[in-house]
A = this chain, B = another copy of it.
C-alpha cells in the first residue's frame, strides 16, 4: 500500500505557489521548488499549468478572490470606503504576493465583481455611466499606489524599527533640502493606515463636491 498521495490539481498547485511566495518572496518561487512542495517532479506541473507565468497569474487571482465584498448600506461614501478597505485587506493579507496583484492587469472574474460593486455604488450616488468609470479609476490608482508602498516598505519605514527611523530623520535634517529638513519628523516613517485614510477621504470629498455640483446642474 502506497501512502495514497492526494491527486495533484491546478488548485493545489496554485495554493502551494502562493504559500511558497509568502514564505520566500516572489524570487523564491521556482517550478522545481513548487513541484517539490506538491510532492512531484518539476515536469509534472506542466500537466496542470501551461507555464510559470500562468502560475503567477493564478496566484494573483487567488489573492483577489480573497476580497470579501461588503453589503451596500445606501451611504455611497461608506460603501466605497468599504470596498476600498476590502481590497486593501485582501492585498495586505499576502504581503509578498500583493505586488503581483497590484502590478498585473486585473482581468479575472473576481476583480470584475469588485469593479461592478464599485460602479454600482457610484451610479446609485448619481454619477453617470462614464463619470463613474473615471471616479473608480482615480480611487483604484490611489489604492494601488498606497498598498504597493505599504507592502513594499520595510520596518525602517513602517516605524517598527525606531533606530532606523531616527537615523533616517537625522539624514533628512542634515540634507541640503530645506523643505525636507522641516518635514523630516513626518517623512522619516510612515503610518500606512493614516496615509490610506487621508488620501481616500481626500478623494471621496472631492467626488462628493463633483456629485452635488452635477446634480444641481441637472
Minimal beta-carbon separation of A154 from chain B (angstroms): 8
The reply to whether A138 and B180 form a contact with Cβ atoms under 8 Å apart is no
Chain B residues within 8 Å of A185, by CB: 129-130
Q: Which of A42-50, A59-67, A75-83, A114-122 contacts B (4 or more CB under 8 A)?
A: A114-122
Minimal beta-carbon separation of A43 from chain B (angstroms): 22
Minimal beta-carbon separation of A180 from chain B (angstroms): 5
Minimal beta-carbon separation of A57 from chain B (angstroms): 14
Copies in the complex: 2
Minimal beta-carbon separation of A211 from chain B (angstroms): 12
A4 within 8 A of B: no
Q: Chain A, interface size: which category?
A: 35 or more
- A–B pairs, 22, beta carbons within 8 Å: A104-B152, A113-B177, A115-B177, A115-B180, A116-B180, A119-B180, A123-B179, A129-B182, A129-B185, A132-B179, A133-B183, A134-B195, A134-B199, A137-B190, A137-B198, A137-B199, A138-B202, A142-B199, A202-B206, A203-B203, A203-B206, A209-B209
